[in-house]
């Protein structure tokens, strides 16, 4: 990701905010992946990566319910295997689930064979036509094989940066509410790493989106 880093006027832009919206070059490299979803109403698509875990996921589901919101959870197979009841809660709550590999495998670090094994292990636990590559890492030549396994490879329009310990909950709130538009795909993490910011930011974001007239729907 450093490749796309550039100097920013740090007086105006909080750290890493170039990452919040993916650089256009990524979208050109991966035209068949989903970055934003065309809609004709004020709908947005909230997603949570890296769960499900008992410490965070049920709380997230509870908050979503309070706002009549639905979200798509890109699950790590290892967590699904460890926490089947938490995974079951997602289906029981009409949330959508997607494949995020079994080991949270990074495409730029493991062999293609290992990568697909990790995907298939997750598939044995998570039945979904949706895939999100961990850390957004992909190579363009990987797309055809992935598209044979999944009808949608879901990237994002807005990264909340909730996992970044150098940011505050206010930064995470602003990352989302200042950039959201109809069809946005927004990334959060139901992880312990994100929790210190998520706990404060998520309820405020859900309220703000709801007050702005957005409905929060699952990706199908
Ligand atoms: Zn992830």
CA of 68 to the centre of ligand 1 (A): 25
Task: Give pLDDT, residue 10.
Answer: 39
Identify the burial level of 179 via C-beta atoms within 10 angstroms of its C-beta, where 0-12 means exposed, 13-18 middle and 19 or more buried: middle
CA of 188 to the centre of ligand 1 (A): 9
**Which residue range is the domain that position 98 belongs to?**
44-216
| Catalytic entry in 83, 100, 116, 189 | 189
Residue 168 lies in a domain: yes
Confidence of residue 15 (pLDDT cuts 50, 70, 90): very low
| Catalytic entry in 49, 50, 164, 217 | 49
Condensed to tens digits (0 to 9), the pLDDT of residues 60-107 reads: 999 999 999 999 999 999 999 999 999 999 999 999 999 999 999 999
Residue 169 lies in a domain: yes
Residue 13 lies in a domain: no
Residue 197 lies in a domain: yes
Task: Give pLDDT, residue 17.
Answer: 61
Task: Give pLDDT, residue 19.
Answer: 74
CA of 47 to the centre of ligand 1 (A): 11
Share of the chain above pLDDT 70, in %: 91
Residue 64 lies in a domain: yes
Residue 14 lies in a domain: no
Three-state SS at 209: helix
Across the chain, where does the E strand assignment appear?
Answer: 43-49, 71-75, 96-99, 130-131, 152-153, 158-159, 185-189, 215-216
Task: Give pLDDT, residue 1.
Answer: 37
Is-catalytic flag, 49?
yes
Residue 127 lies in a domain: yes
How many domains does the chain divide into?
1
- For the chain, give the mean pLDDT: 91
Residue 176 lies in a domain: yes
pTM: 0.90
What integer is the mean pLDDT of 20-39?
80
What's 74's domain CATH number? Answer: 3.20.20.370
């Amino acid at each position: 990701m450093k490749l796309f880093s550039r100097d920013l006027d740090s007086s105006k832009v909080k750290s890493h905010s170039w990452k919040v919206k993916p650089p256009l070059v990524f979208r050109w490299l991966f035209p068949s992946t989903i970055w934003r979803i065309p809609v004709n109403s004020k709908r947005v698509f909230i997603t949570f990566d890296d769960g499900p875990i008992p410490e965070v996921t049920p709380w997230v589901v509870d908050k979503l319910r309070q706002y009549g919101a639905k979200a798509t959870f890109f699950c790590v197979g290892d967590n699904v295997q460890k926490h089947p009841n938490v995974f079951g809660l997602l289906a029981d709550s009409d949330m959508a689930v997607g494949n995020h590999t079994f080991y949270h495998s990074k495409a730029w670090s493991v062999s293609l064979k290992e990568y697909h094994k990790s995907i298939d292990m997750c598939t044995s636990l998570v039945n979904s036509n949706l895939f999100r590559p961990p850390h957004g890492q992909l190579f363009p030549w990987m797309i055809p094989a992935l598209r044979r396994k999944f009808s949608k490879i879901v990237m994002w329009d807005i990264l909340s940066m909730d996992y970044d310990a150098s940011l505050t909950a206010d930064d995470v709130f602003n990352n989302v509410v200042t950039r959201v538009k109809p069809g946005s795909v927004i990334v959060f993490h139901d992880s312990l790493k994100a929790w210190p910011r998520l706990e404060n930011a998520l309820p405020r974001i859900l309220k703000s989106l709801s007050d702005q007239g957005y409905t929060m729907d699952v990706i199908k």
